[in-house]
Homo-oligomer: A and B are copies of this chain.
Amino acid sequence: MYQSKLFSKTRKEAPKDEVSKNAELLIKAGFINKEMAGVYSYLPLGLRVLNKINNIIREEMNQIGGQEIFLTSLQEKETWEKTNRWDDKIVDNWFKTKLKNETELGLAFTHEEALTRLMKDHIRSYKDLPSYPYQIQTKFRNEARAKSGIIRCREFLMKDMYSFSRNEKEHLEFYEKAKEAYKNIFKRVGLGDKTYLTFASGGSFSKYSHEFQTITDSGEDIIYLDEKKGLAVNKEVLTGTVLKDLDLEEKKLKEVKAVEVGNIFTLGTKFSEPFGLTYLDEKGEKNLVFMGSYGIGPGRVMGTVAEALSDNKGLVWPSEIAPFYVHLIEIGDKKEVRKMAEDLYKNLQKNKIEVLFDDRDLRPGEKFADSDLLGIPLRIIVSEKTLASGEYEIKERASEKVSMIKEKDLLNFVIEYK
């Protein structure tokens, strides 16, 4: 894409009321817009990143048998009364609204109730199980404070998968697969090294749930980390019994701040029971369906990447989720330089490499500052020097390493870096 056509502009300052590092950077770079505290819009570059994260999640969910659906935000009172989660005293982050006839409705903060009700039409026998519907859909949560940018929002996208199994054994087999899928996701979005499987509080049906916690200074959670074992325990559940359970030694644990980027949970029959979601087994006997839930916030992942991988010059995107892969920068206004840059732009596009081409009439310093702020993995400079030497200057955003590459080697260099 030609940068001169991109409508979003970078800016020197974020809004004064913005206190989070991730939103500050993303607003300055023109990736998002702050509508109000905890409510952010996605502009073209931000949406490209978000969609890439969504697609990685989709691929991993489909890989383990997920089937994508799209539920609604508007929710009926009766559905949530079945599990005693309608009352604002019990669930304190509802946004409620009303139909014209004064019927109260809620805006879904999660979808266990809605989906369990729905699945009653589709599960009859053991042949209909297991089943793994998931969605990437907007959640509304009436947070009292929302000061963590796109890491904690009042309106945000969430991928929520729910598993419906015949029994605990079948459930646990899938639960392990989901764990691996989550690990793949965090690896692919570039958070693999900083993200730890973390034991957190469970429910009636399992001793623990599992969180995926990414280490960052601005994290709202505190976890205790055994780096060697690659495991962590959420402070909330850290007791002697837990340490013993997990074979961890307290003195080897490191206390760190972290962001919960995903969580998986055994629900058991907590929802299937109140809704009467049953199936007939091979013997014709009725059983309750055994459930699990698996959440990731794609926007939160994006915010965490912005927070954890950026430097003092701006954003640093891992290749698989970068808005573009190459930032092509033309320096000077000589016709031959322009032609050289245009030719390279077209050649890269022909080879399916996503390029943002800074064709704007600006001073080199401004272009470089913008480029650092945007954080695209590879920067290629075309200038009079390139014209004279036939060599392109390529700078890697993350390592700041600079290479001079001959035209004939350029495409290979770009593809191999990826």
Asked if B33 and A47 make an inter-chain contact with CB atoms under 8 angstroms apart, the answer reads no
Main secondary structure of the interface of A (DSSP, over half): mixed
**CB-contacts of A185-209 with B (<8 A):** none
Which of B74, B97, B122, B127 is the one whose CB lies under 8 Å from A8? B122
A87 CB to closest chain B CB, in angstroms?
15
A300 CB to closest chain B CB, in angstroms?
15
What is the chain B residue whose CB lies nearest that of A360? Answer: B127
Could you say which of A62-70, A170-178, A239-247, A366-374 contacts chain B? Answer: A62-70
Does A280 sit at the interface, judged by CB under 8 A? no
Does A249 sit at the interface, judged by CB under 8 A? no
Does A304 sit at the interface, judged by CB under 8 A? no
**CB-contacts of A22-50 with B (<8 A):** 30, 33, 35-36, 39-44, 47, 50
Does A118 sit at the interface, judged by CB under 8 A? yes
What is the chain B residue whose CB lies nearest that of A96? Answer: B97
| Residues in B neighbouring A114, C-beta threshold 8 A | 35, 41
A26 CB to closest chain B CB, in angstroms?
13
- Alpha-carbon gap, A208 to B133, bound state (A): 45
Does A95 sit at the interface, judged by CB under 8 A? yes
| Residues in B neighbouring A131, C-beta threshold 8 A | 7
**Chain A positions near chain B (C-beta within 8 angstroms):** 4-9, 11, 30, 33, 35-36, 39-44, 47, 50, 65, 67-76, 95-100, 105, 107, 114, 118-119, 121-124, 127-128, 131, 133, 138, 140, 142, 144, 154-155
Can you sample 30 A-B contacts with CB below 8 Å? A4-B127, A7-B128, A7-B133, A9-B121, A9-B122, A9-B124, A11-B121, A33-B121, A35-B71, A35-B74, A35-B76, A35-B114, A39-B72, A39-B74, A40-B72, A41-B70, A41-B72, A41-B114, A42-B70, A44-B67, A44-B69, A44-B133, A50-B70, A72-B155, A73-B140, A73-B155, A74-B140, A95-B98, A97-B97, A100-B142
